Structure formats: C-alpha cells, structure tokens
Amino acid sequence: MIVLDTHAWIWFINSPEMLGKRAGKLIESARVREEPIHVSCISTWEVHMLAAKGRLSLAVSAEVWVARCERLSLLRFEPVNNDIARLAVNDCASLPGDPADRIIAATALYLGASLITRDEKIRDAGMVKCVW
C-alpha cells in the first residue's frame, strides 16, 4: 500500500519522469495489481494553495485538475480523520515546519503504507517507511 506526498501526486499525474526510480516502480506495481494509490485530502488543499500563490502551474485550474484526479479509479483520497490528526500530533511532531507534511506522514502511518516522497526531512525523520 502506498501514499503519495503532494509533489509525488503532481508528478505522477503530470510528469511521471520526475519520480524517483524506486517510487515509479512501486507506483507501476500498484497500478498493475490494481491496488489503490492513496492521497491525503490535505494534498488537495496544498494543490489549491500552491496554485493560488502562483507556485504551481497547471494546464487547467486547480479545481479542474483535482476533479480529473478524483475520477481516476486508481486514486483513493483519504480524509483527515481523528486518528490521523492524533498521529500527526503525537507520532509526527518531530517533523519541523509544515503541518501538512505531518498529516501526510500520519496518513501513511495510519494506513500502514509506504510514503512516496522526495522530502528529505520526512525521509530522515524515520517515522514512516519512505520510498523515492
């Protein structure tokens, strides 16, 4: 089971060549086995925020891009439930800065999944199995 960090989700959809080799192979394996690829709903928030700030350029609006992703049967969007919120505070508190990173890492912990991320802060923290 895998969870995509926000940048991994964007690259998976728009520029799969940007993914690390191991990450790309793991995603392709999940696709072949028809296993869902999980995305935290906080990543949807990040996509909208990045687009609104001009830090993410998409060929279509963020609303259209996300709606298209929601129609992909291989993606499963995971809401931030109470257990994920608790894990983000208790088990992911050592991640500096970005609360969204903590929620994404907590989502992977909650699901018992590997996190596809290039983010060295998350990978170095060692709280969740990361692949890149």
Q: Read off the pLDDT band of 14 (50, 70, 90).
A: very high
Domain count for the chain, please give it.
Answer: 1
Say what percent of the chain tops pLDDT 70: 100
Domain ranges, residue 27: 2-131
- Which pLDDT score is estimated for 101? 95
- Which pLDDT score is estimated for 10? 98
Cα torsion 48, 109, 92, 82 to 10°: value is 70
DSSP state of 53: T
Write the CATH number for 110. Answer: 3.40.50.1010
pTM (2 d.p.): 0.95
